[in-house]
Amino acid sequence: MISLSRLMGGRNERGDSVRFPTSERKYPAVLILGLTRNCNLNCLHCYSNSGGAKFIDLPLDFWLRTVEEAGSMGVRHIVLTGGEPLMMREVREIARHAQDRGISVEISTNGTVLRTSLPPLAEYVNYVGVSLDGPPQVHDELRGLKGAHRKALEGARFAKSLGLKVGLRFTITALNWWYVDEALNTVERERLDRICFYHLAYVGRAERALDVDNSTRLNVVEHLLDKAKGVNYELLTADNPVDGILAYLITGKPELLNLLRANGGNRSGERVAYISPEGVVYPDQFTPVPIGVGPHLKELWDGPAPLVEKLRERRRYVECSSCPFFPVCNGGLRGRALAVTGDLWAKDPSCYLQEALSRHPISVQEYTTSHVNPHNG
Ligand code: SF4
């Protein structure tokens, strides 16, 4: 994730130690657990192909052992997702198990069942991220249920009323990109804590045809960077690290490079990993190439598993690794490259660097000097 509010507004957040770490780690800091494919919605852009049928979840014991393993690996955050994670019967036990091990618990939810399902586990939850993809008509269309927007917003308000940290998750698509201001206004009006804009990844039911083109993407991110200068909440983007480079190109501030260097760009399979509802371990939710099978995660990173090894060395494989910004980007989202080209190591098709450079020219020499001089900024 790229914290635009940190880059543009200097706003510090608790999650900065994960977003801008000061040292390398052997194991992931963030583990995303896809607890279930069951869901009461049927979203057009669902990355996990959830909903629409009844799925059998893995036994609780699998997830408890996974959490124990995560604890022994020093995982800092667990994100409970799905499907709709609150529809998984034993979600409370999993959240409690994580909290008992000092792991921060985040829930990624469609928000519609928060009022009924959140209270039993609220004491074990640190953050609730509610998906909201625009105003009612647009959100309901994307989510496949009339009234989904109203319920999601009510759910976010309810979670907030319990004293929890709550934010929105907005996926940028061709159907909603011009509503980003409406989403920002919602965060402000509802006094929420965060909003994260996700770039679409073409996996599950999310097809490339639903995405914006790269000029539009660049326009949207430029706009968000401008807004991020003065927000009183956390404003992030996810799944396209070139957004951080754009912040540098616009501001020309070399000190931003220190933050981007610490962030390291896409670190799927290194600092982040995902476990599917079937117990398969992947680099992230959007890259359907397995690393191995849970719950014995440690050995996958100790081994390391072949994919972990290659991801650690991705500079040797990724098509665009000669890009001068590779050290702060790491080549973007592998899953999107795979979806479009069939090659895991191809260029991320959502990279808009060339157009960004033509709008905000900065000499490569200027960048290289800033980049290689540790005292600069
Ligand atoms: S060309 Fe590759 S490394 Fe450079 S900004 Fe784009 S995705 Fe990142």
Give residue 352 CA to ligand 1 midpoint distance, Å. 8
Residue 282 · residue 274 · CB < 8 Å? yes
Give the position, in ligand 1's atom list, of the atom nearest the Cα of 329.
8
Residue 66 · residue 113 · CB < 8 Å? no
Residue 105 · residue 61 · CB < 8 Å? no
Query: What is the structure's pLDDT at 48?
Result: 84
Residue 161 · residue 117 · CB < 8 Å? no
Pairing mode, strands 280-282 and 272-275: antiparallel
Query: What is the structure's pLDDT at 77?
Result: 97
Q: How many residues are present in the chain?
A: 377
Query: What is the structure's pLDDT at 371?
Result: 60
CATH number for 2-303 (one of 3.20.20.70, 3.40.50.620, 2.40.50.100, 3.40.225.10): it is 3.20.20.70
Q: Position of tokens 């124990």? A: 68
Give residue 225 CA to ligand 1 midpoint distance, Å. 19
Which residues, at least 6 apart from 94, have a Cβ–Cβ distance to it below 8 Å?
Answer: 33, 35, 60, 63, 64, 67, 80, 88
Report d(CA 346, CA 260) in Å as an integer. 22
Query: What is the structure's pLDDT at 112?
Result: 96
Rounded (5°) CA angle 120-125-131? 100
59 CB burial (10 A radius; 0-12, 13-18, 19+): exposed
Query: What is the 8-class DSSP label of residue 27?
Result: S
Q: Position of tokens 């985040």? A: 106
Give residue 64 CA to ligand 1 midpoint distance, Å. 38
Is any ligand 1 atom within 6 A of the Cβ of residue 164? no
Give residue 324 CA to ligand 1 midpoint distance, Å. 8
Rounded (5°) CA angle 278-27-127? 70
Question: Which residues partner with 175 through β-bridges?
Answer: none
Secondary structure class of 194 (helix, strand, coil): strand
Query: What is the structure's pLDDT at 18?
Result: 79
pLDDT along the chain (377 residues), means of 10: 94 80 88 95 87 92 98 97 95 98 97 97 98 95 93 98 98 97 98 98 93 98 97 97 97 91 95 97 98 94 98 98 96 98 98 96 75 42
Is any ligand 1 atom within 6 A of the Cβ of residue 332? yes
Query: What is the structure's pLDDT at 53?
Result: 87
Which tokens in the block code for residue 226? 């401008």
Query: What is the structure's pLDDT at 17?
Result: 77
Report d(CA 186, CA 172) in Å as an integer. 16
What one-letter code names the amino acid at 264?
G
Query: What is the structure's pLDDT at 58?
Result: 97
State the CB neighbour count (10 A cutoff) for residue 251. Answer: 15
Where does 116-265 show beta strands of DSSP type E? 127-131, 165-172, 194-199, 234-238
Give residue 336 CA to ligand 1 midpoint distance, Å. 13
Where does 96-135 show beta strands of DSSP type E? 104-109, 127-131
State the CB neighbour count (10 A cutoff) for residue 263. Answer: 25
Report d(CA 247, CA 62) in Å as an integer. 42
**For ligand 1, mutation pick of 329, 336, 338 (most atoms within 8 Å of CB):** 329
Where does the chain show beta strands of DSSP type E? 2-3, 30-34, 77-81, 104-109, 127-131, 165-172, 194-199, 234-238, 272-275, 280-282, 292-293
